[in-house]
Amino acid sequence: MRPSLGFDILSAMLWIPGPTYVRPSILESLTQPPIGHRSAEMVEIIERLDPHLALAFGLEDGDWQVAATTSSATGLMEASLIGAGERILCVVGGAFGKRWATIAKDLGKDVQILQVPAGEVVNDMLLAETLDMDGPFDALTLVVNETSTGVYTDPFPIARVLQAFPDTLFLADVVSAIAGTAISLERNCIDFALAGINKALALPPGIAVCGVSEAFMDRAREQSNRGFYLDPIRIVEGHAKRKTPTTPCITLYRALAEQLEDISAGVQLPSDFAAEPGAPAWQARFDVHTAMQTRTLEWAAGHGLEPFPVPAGLSSTVSCIRAGHVDVPSLISGLKERGHEIGNGYGELKNQTFRIGHMGDHTPEQLEELLTAADEVLAATASA
């Protein structure tokens, strides 16, 4: 269903794995004029974020705090490394794991890569062995939902391994997981979790959010030469004081506050997923994502297509599907003609896989429209 704002805002419904579809009411809120970033109104907007970000990051109480900052997710990938120390072990199973390792190298860190075959999840025994034989490491980086391959890695087994290495901070990229999948920083002992807002939070890009442990903050305070813009201490303490270190993207902060409140109120939930406000509404949002994942994979199986990830690594926000007999460029262009845009495979997986980002404020009903359109395109190409 197309939003009507009185002007043509969309050429196609976005099902790429981010940025994704943004609801009309959110788009409208973005058209409000800016306010002073040191004003009482701005303080109030920043204050509105925290209780809902706590739900997004699965925080109840304890030694964690949340923050928002004006950058894309990569800014916080860099900030996390600036605060973490010198020896970094990077789990790399796809493009974004590799990006984190590249940033670490570019920052002059001593980086070791634990390569994971594309489509697989990291082997926790191998991880334990690497930490033991090649450590000590100051931090471990893990992309929980590797958007390039559609692999979801459960952080819990990693957290269990890290229990034996208490000085190794756990840094987690939850960019395409947040607001689509439960992420409990406390249960998973994650010291720094970061995300953008243009995936399952369903907003335009421009702000990044994080959940940060006290252990991370203590470590970061010990680091010298932290720079300014990406200094994690300035970011987190500035947020806590409601005084961002630099001019924030005010319009997006406002939209983020509205979107988080709507998610906590369950505003966007389909009627059969209706839930009480608060944590149950977030859980229901995760359940909608799981339902869309299940339906997408059923649809794929109906066409003889298989997911790229191993069964233990299926993501509930991004389905990366092996192309098999499907000509990916034709599928993408045929869908575009019908008003939907999906993603090709990433990098070397281009034309060998395609990706459907069933995330954010998409509904199972909208997904049916996409899959029906995909059926039409596949039938048309088969008979051509």
Ligand X SMILES: Cc1ncc(COP(=O)(O)O)c(C=O)c1O
- Give me the residues that bind ligand X (CB under 6 A), please: 18, 72-74, 96, 143, 147, 173, 175-176, 196, 205
Q: What's the distance, Cα to Cα, between the start and end of the chain in Å?
A: 29
Q: Using alpha carbons, select from 212, 146, 198 the residue that is nearest to residue 174.
A: 146
Least distance between ligand X and beta carbon 107 (Å): 16
Least distance between ligand X and beta carbon 69 (Å): 12
> Is there a contact between 57 and 64 (Cβ–Cβ < 8 Å)?
yes
DSSP letter at 121 equals P
Nearer to ligand X, 85 or 196 (CB): 196
Nearer to ligand X, 59 or 143 (CB): 143
Record the tokens describing residue 291, joined without a space: 């339902």
Alpha-carbon distances, residue 137 vs 80, 88, 121, 283, 318 (angstroms): 15, 6, 21, 34, 31
Q: What is the DSSP string of 220-279?
A: HHH-S---STT-HHHHHHHHHTT--SS---HHHHHHHHHHHHHHHHTTT--GGG---TTH
> Is there a contact between 42 and 35 (Cβ–Cβ < 8 Å)?
yes
Least distance between ligand X and beta carbon 73 (Å): 4
Nearer to ligand X, 249 or 378 (CB): 249
With left for phi above 0 and alpha for psi between -120 and 50, is residue 360 left, alpha or beta? left
Nearer to ligand X, 196 or 360 (CB): 196
Distance CA 13, CA 18 (A): 12
Nearer to ligand X, 72 or 102 (CB): 72
Nearer to ligand X, 54 or 175 (CB): 175
Least distance between ligand X and beta carbon 372 (Å): 27
> Is there a contact between 111 and 104 (Cβ–Cβ < 8 Å)?
yes
Nearer to ligand X, 147 or 168 (CB): 147
Least distance between ligand X and beta carbon 160 (Å): 23
- The whole-angstrom distance between residue 182's C-alpha and the CA centroid of its chain comes to 11
> Is there a contact between 199 and 357 (Cβ–Cβ < 8 Å)?
yes
Distance CA 289, CA 150 (A): 14
Least distance between ligand X and beta carbon 353 (Å): 15
Nearer to ligand X, 170 or 273 (CB): 170
Least distance between ligand X and beta carbon 337 (Å): 26
Least distance between ligand X and beta carbon 72 (Å): 3
